[in-house]
């Protein structure tokens, strides 16, 4: 496991959420994919309203094989494992449309703000 960088400045720590295509994604019927995408959007919206996820959205860019990321988000709970557990309960992740990785993200203290998360609190 990587250690926190040794810098002479204060750092904020977040959980970085990266969403990838899941193992079943290519095999699911289009109607099921649309339903799971809607379920995923609703689930993520609920996590944002509860303050679990601070920001989340899709990523677009040149495809990187074999597994280009589809989405990115940040949470700040203090536990990568807790965030992973919550995101693995996402209906689209459970169905295999997506898979999720959660990493620790460090940045200079005070450098990020989440006005929508503050409004929801």
pLDDT in tens, the chain (121 residues): 566 666 678 999 999 999 999 999 889 999 999 999 999 999 999 999 998 999 999 998 776 667 789 999 999 999 999 999 999 999 999 999 999 999 999 999 999 988 877 666 6
**What are the residue ranges of helices labelled H in the chain?**
30-50, 80-88, 91-94, 115-120
Q: Report pTM.
A: 0.84
53-58 and 11-21 strand pairing:
unpaired
Please, what sign has the CA dihedral across residues 79, 18, 23, 52?
A: positive
Task: Please measure the distance between the N-terminal and C-terminal CA atoms of the chain and give it in whole angstroms.
Answer: 33
């Amino acid at each position: 496991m990587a250690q926190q960088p040794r810098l002479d400045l204060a750092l904020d720590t977040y959980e970085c959420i990266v969403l990838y295509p899941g193992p079943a994604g290519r095999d699911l019927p289009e109607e099921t994919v649309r339903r799971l995408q809607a379920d995923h959007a609703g689930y993520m919206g609920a996590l944002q309203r509860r303050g679990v996820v601070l920001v989340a959205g899709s990523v677009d860019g040149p495809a990187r094989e074999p597994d280009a990321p589809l989405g990115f988000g940040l949470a700040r709970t203090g536990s990568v494992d807790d965030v992973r557990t919550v995101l693995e309960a996402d209906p689209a992740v459970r169905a295999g449309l997506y898979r999720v990785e959660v990493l620790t993200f460090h940045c200079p203290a005070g450098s990020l703000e989440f006005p929508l998360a503050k409004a929801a609190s």
